[in-house]
Chains A and B, each alone.
Chain A
Amino acid sequence: MAVLFFNATLMTLGLALSSLILGLILASVFALLELGRFRTLRYLTTTLVMVLRGLPEILVVFFIYFGSSHAIFMLTDEYVEVSPFTAGTIALGLIYGAYASQTLRGALMAVHKGQLESAKALGINARRSFIKIVLPQALRHALPGLGNQWLVLLKDTALVALIGTTELLHQAQMLSSKTFEPFTWYSVAAVIYLIITIISQRLLNNMKAKASQHERVVTA
């Protein structure tokens, strides 16, 4: 049993972390496109983000898993099976990216424009000032929001159980129906989710403290 739950926990974490990485990349792309100067791309991104945020998460998961095979079949007449893990990662990554892009966009806009102006006045080019001056400050603003969405993402991995991935929830479900001990197995799954959440919160608090070290006024 321990081995089964260990593997299921790894699956949950694997799903969550790979969706997080994909999601953060997508969020940065969405946020930059929405703040960018190309009008068409701006509208397209805004629409995509609106659609992703407007649909139930489970629908996105089903759509990517069943829909992508169907779409590939229609386009190429070949049946390509997308693995539940891949489909789950793409779906959750898209959802995380859509929500996190709004957090990032807000954080980028919250950096005072004088910060860029002083860099410009010192002859520092736009790319360097974005990376060295705007981004570190924006990440600090974004961290609480991104952390929040990470916790939501972690629990959304349970949706991927419905397309047949053996992650924590699915494992608990299978053992319950086999042993007729649902209380025990759902409790085990619950405890594991909570442990991951508590560890995540610890890590996030450390990151927040590190990102705002300059705000702690040191009096000599």
Chain B
Amino acid sequence: MGIEVQGLSKAFGSTTVLKDISFFIPRGETTVLLGASGAGKSTLMRMLNLLETPDTGTMKIAGMNFSFSEKTDEKQLNKQASSLRRKVGMVFQQYNLWPHMTVLQNLIEAPIVQGTPKQDAIIRAKELLDRVGLTDKTNAWPSSLSGGQQQRVAIARALMLSPDVLLFDEPTAALDPAITNQVVEVIKELSQSGITQVVVTHEVEFARKIASRVIYLENGEIVEDGTADHFKNPQTEAFKAYLEH
């Protein structure tokens, strides 16, 4: 049960941002979506948890099937979207922690809404904070944490619902290079656990460190798609040029 996407397209007004995208990501892989800004990689990833709705195409993810067309029923889709989002976690570039809640409150909010008893949620939160190395920050306010620490809290928060898939939208773009390694460590550690990860980035070095697969996009189309070997042996001139720039 991986992620399978067939013929996804999306246009905003008259601008086509994604053209007939198809790919398959096996379970447990860490796939990097690479490309220059404007290539459509963020939009593509946001479709995987339906923060964007594709115009056409089909998608199989986390055991759920979706097919999109002009006739897609919005209400029905919204319902499915919330159950999908419990299985597909997401980590944002700007962390988007809730500043008026402590680290612990940030973590337990979503599970509590879904009916997990508070005590159980707290136990799980403490385990995850231990896993990302932030045990001593349990009761801290997000604003008292460094960028790298905030991003690790955001990752722990996304893991609270035990998702099958974890999406990262430019997770290191707001971090300085030394801190990026903290995020690299966490992503590598997670890939051992069998979770499927999809990471959007434009930083080649970061991509090399974490990827087991890579998808390279240009102008809304997939140019190259394969295992991490493609970093050493790019198959297209375009990807080769991007790696060298």
Contacts and interface: CB of A to CB of B under 8 A. Distances in A.
Interface of A: 112, 114-115, 117-125, 128, 132-133, 136-137, 140, 213-215, 217-220
Nearest to A139: B100
B96 A219 contact: no
Contacts of B51: 117, 120-121
B244 to A, nearest CB: 33
B96 A123 contact: no
B98 A217 contact: no
Contact of B85 (A121, A137, A220): A121
B179 interface: no
Contacts of A214: 99-101, 141-143
Interface of B: 49, 51, 82-83, 85-86, 89-90, 92, 94, 96-101, 109-110, 113-114, 136, 140-144, 154, 157-158, 161
Nearest to B85: A123
A220 B137 CA distance: 10
Contacts of A115: 96, 98
Contact of B49 (A121, A124, A132, A140): A121
Given A117-B51, A118-B92, A218 B144 contact: yes
Contacts of A121: 49, 51, 85, 89-90, 92, 158
Top 6 nearest A-B pairs (CB, nearest first) are A118-B96, A122-B110, A121-B90, A114-B96, A214-B141, A123-B85
B109 A122 contact: yes
Greatest chain A CB density within 10 A among B98, B100, B101, B158 is at B100
Contacts of A220: 136
B98 A120 contact: no
B144 A123 contact: no
Given A114-B94, A121-B89, A123-B110, A219 B100 contact: no
B110 A218 contact: no
Contacts of A137: 98-100
Contact of A123 (B99, B114, B143): B114
A120 B82 CA distance: 8
B100 A136 contact: yes
Contacts of A125: 82, 113
B91 to A, nearest CB: 9
22 contacts: A112-B94, A112-B96, A114-B92, A114-B94, A117-B96, A119-B109, A122-B109, A122-B110, A123-B110, A125-B113, A128-B113, A132-B109, A133-B98, A137-B98, A137-B99, A137-B100, A214-B100, A214-B142, A214-B143, A217-B143, A217-B144, A218-B140
A133 B106 CA distance: 10
A112 B113 CA distance: 22
Given A112-B96, A114-B96, 19 more contacts: A115-B98, A118-B90, A118-B92, A118-B97, A120-B85, A121-B158, A122-B85, A122-B89, A122-B110, A123-B113, A123-B114, A124-B110, A124-B113, A128-B113, A137-B98, A214-B142, A214-B143, A218-B144, A220-B136
Contacts of B157: 122
Nearest to B90: A121
Nearest to A211: B100
Contacts of A132: 109
Contacts of A215: 99, 141, 143
Nearest to B84: A123
